[in-house]
């Protein structure tokens, strides 16, 4: 793959757009509906969530070139030939990107499409939990013009994963705190770790914002890094926690392939282990209403009902816990507490009129994204950074200064 030349930019753009269209049709004799049902059953992600992810993948493929353009520095151009005398050229840091893909949500595969748009050759190692999405996407890309030396699907044993990372020029790796620690300090690895996204309710009217919190906690089935895992309340945190638990408790318990499904499903063993973990972390916190979380499903497996835990202080360590189902920790907050409890978050939704507070949140280097007002933490838009622009990791600006340029017939011409 490293020796292969990237497709011309126009060909990459056309092939990506065609692959996005094909992804929503039939790929390798597998219709879209059959693929989506496979993903729901295998991963436990609700069918409605998988369907939305399909549309997101197709849209991202179509718009990949425009998305990376929005990340390019305004003072740089794509091609050195366009430099009149001196200028900056945006160029790749390497040639091959390895992706250690997760299995929590199909839409995570929208991100590496940007690398293809930039001319990288991409090797995707799928999650054993959900290999269907990357296989379908790579197959669609191959069918639409990307040769096998441009994009490939590499299912491997877990023990080989680090070897792939070390063999590549750059790597995009998903995982929890252990994975983040494994690759900490490596400039050639971008780790997409836990989100620990939070909401601050600080306008004194929490009852007006319950819909936003419910969406933030349970959107995408509560499986994504942009789902809210902690809420800080300036006011009656207990009353808010009870209302939030009531609303989340209305979500149906259903098999992931059911049209009504919202919540994720797990093996019975995994569901019981996650519930035991939550209960083991209460440490004075109070689960509301306190009933069983694991709801067994006919035919096997279980859905985890949402967990709402009320804490007594905003510096409680539980506020950093993120789990793969709707689990939210609620704590009281006051302006005197400052932004400390909100740090180390992928996204913070701040509902407040305090501009000084908003400025502090916007300027804090440990907060990835700031949503102001009733905007769910999971709200994302093509072209806007998620954990920064991926292109910031993949590309760099290089100075090009030109004087006399050799001509192919031997003459030397000024540009």
Domain boundaries, the chain: 9-193, 197-372
Distance CA 277, CA 84 (A): 62
Q: Which pLDDT tens digit goes with each residue over 169-226?
A: 999 999 888 888 888 889 999 999 899 999 999 999 999 999 999 999 999 999 999 9
pLDDT at residue 184, rounded to an integer: 86
Q: In which region does residue 222 sit, left (phi positive, over 0), alpha (psi from -120 to 50) or beta (all else)?
A: left
| Residue 123 pLDDT > 70 | yes
Average pLDDT for 132-154: 98
What angle, 0 to 180 degrees and rounded to 10, lies between the N-to-C axes of helices 210-218 and 237-248?
60
Give the model confidence (pLDDT) of 76-113 as tens digits: 999 999 998 999 999 999 999 999 999 999 999 999 99
pLDDT of residue 2: 87
Superfamily of domain 9-193: Aldehyde Dehydrogenase; Chain A, domain 1 (3.40.605.10)
Residue 193 has a pLDDT of 84
Taking only the tens place, the pLDDT of each residue in 369-402 is: 999 999 999 999 888 898 899 999 999 999 999 9
Q: Which residues of 136-156 are buried (b: 16+ CB within 10 A; e: fewer)?
A: bbbbbbbebebeeebbbbeee
**What is the C-alpha separation between 94 and 189, in angstroms, rounded?**
12
Tally Cβ neighbours within 10 Å of residue 160. 13
The residue count for the chain: 415
Q: Would you say the C-alpha torsion 300, 261, 54, 195 has a positive or negative sign? A: negative
Percent of the chain's residues with pLDDT above 90 = 88
Alpha helices in 99-176 (DSSP H): 113-117, 132-143, 161-167
Burial of 188 (0-12, 13-18, 19+ CB in 10 A): middle
DSSP assignments along 222-280, one per residue: G-STTSEEEEEESS-HHHHHHHHHHHHTTSPP--TTSTT--S-EE-HHHHHHHHHHHHH
Residue 412: pLDDT above 60? no
What gap in Å lies between CA 27 and CA 120, rounded to an integer?
Answer: 23
Confidence of residue 403 (pLDDT cuts 50, 70, 90): confident
Judged against a pLDDT cut of 80, whether residue 116 lies above it is answered with yes
Determine the angle formed by the axes of helices 132-143 and 47-71, rounding to 10 degrees: 50
Mean pLDDT score of the chain: 95
Classify 294 as helix, strand or coil: strand
How far apart, in whole angstroms, are the C-alpha atoms of residue 66 and residue 246?
42
Q: Do 151 and 160 meet the contact criterion of CB atoms below 8 Å apart?
A: no
Q: Coil, strand, or helix at residue 371?
A: strand
| DSSP one-letter string for 372-387 | ESS--TT---TTS-SS
Instruction: Specify whether the CB–CB gap between 368 and 347 falls below 8 A.
Output: yes
**pLDDT value at residue 408:** 59
User: What is the three-class DSSP state of 66?
Assistant: helix
Q: What is the pLDDT of residues 301-353, one digit of tens each?
A: 999 999 999 999 999 999 999 999 999 999 999 999 999 999 999 999 999 99
Residue among 320, 367, 372, 329 nearest 349 (CA): 372
Q: How far is CA 297 from the centre of its chain?
A: 28
pLDDT average, residue stretch 262-279: 97
Residues 6+ apart with CB under 8 A from 160: none
- Residue pair 77/89 in contact by the 8 Å Cβ criterion: yes
Select from 229, 220, 225 the least CA-distant residue to 46. 220
Q: Comparing 145 with 403, which gets the higher pLDDT? A: 145
> Is pLDDT larger for residue 28 or for residue 406?
28
Q: pLDDT value at position 380?
A: 92
SS3 16: helix
What token pair was written down for 189? Answer: 């690895």
Q: CATH fold of 197-372, please?
A: Aldehyde Dehydrogenase; Chain A, domain 2 (3.40.309)
State the angle between helix axes of 32-43 and 47-71 in degrees (0 to 180), rounded to the nearest 10. 100
């Amino acid at each position: 793959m490293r020796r292969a030349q990237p497709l011309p930019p126009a060909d990459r753009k056309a092939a990506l757009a065609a692959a996005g269209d094909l992804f929503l049709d039939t790929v390798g004799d597998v219709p879209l509906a059959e693929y989506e049902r496979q993903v729901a059953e295998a991963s436990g992600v609700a069918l409605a969530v998988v369907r939305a992810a399909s549309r997101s993948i197709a849209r991202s493929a179509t718009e990949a070139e425009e998305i990376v353009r929005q990340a390019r520095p305004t003072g740089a151009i794509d091609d050195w030939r366009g430099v009149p005398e001196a200028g900056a050229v945006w160029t790749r840091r390497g040639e091959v990107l390895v992706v250690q893909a997760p299995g929590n949500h199909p839409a995570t595969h929208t991100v590496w499409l940007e690398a293809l748009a930039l001319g990288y050759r991409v090797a995707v190692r799928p999650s054993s939990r959900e290999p269907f999405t990357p296989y379908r996407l790579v197959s669609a890309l191959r069918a639409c013009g990307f040769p096998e030396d441009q994009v490939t699907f590499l299912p491997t044993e877990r023990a080989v994963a680090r070897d792939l990372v070390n063999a590549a020029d750059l790597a995009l790796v998903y995982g929890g705190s252990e994975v983040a620690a494994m690759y900490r300090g490596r400039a050639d690895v971008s780790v997409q770790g836990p989100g620990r996204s939070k909401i601050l309710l600080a306008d004194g009217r929490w009852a007006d914002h319950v819909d936003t919190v419910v969406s933030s906690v349970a959107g995408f089935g509560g499986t994504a890094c942009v789902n809210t895992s902690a809420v800080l309340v300036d006011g009656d945190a207990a009353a808010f926690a009870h209302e939030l638990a009531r609303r989340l408790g209305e979500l149906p318990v259903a098999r992931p392939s059911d049209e009504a499904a919202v919540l994720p499903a797990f093996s019975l063993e995994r569901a019981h282990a996650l519930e035991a973990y939550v209960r083991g972390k209460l440490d004075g916190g109070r689960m509301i209403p306190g009933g069983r979380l694991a709801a067994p499903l006919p035919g096997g497996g279980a859905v985890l009902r949402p967990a709402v835990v009320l804490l007594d202080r905003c510096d409680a360590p539980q506020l950093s816990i993120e789990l793969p189902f709707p689990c939210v920790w609620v704590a009281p907050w006051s302006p005197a507490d400052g932004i400390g409890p909100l740090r180390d978050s992928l996204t913070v939704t701040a509902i407040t009129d305090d501009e000084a507070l908003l400025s502090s949140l916007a300027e804090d280097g440990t907060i990835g994204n700031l949503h102001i007002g009733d905007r769910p933490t999971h709200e994302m838009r093509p072209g806007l950074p998620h954990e920064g622009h991926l292109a910031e990791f993949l590309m760099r600006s290089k100075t090009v200064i030109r004087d006399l340029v050799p001509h192919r017939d031997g003459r030397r011409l000024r540009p």
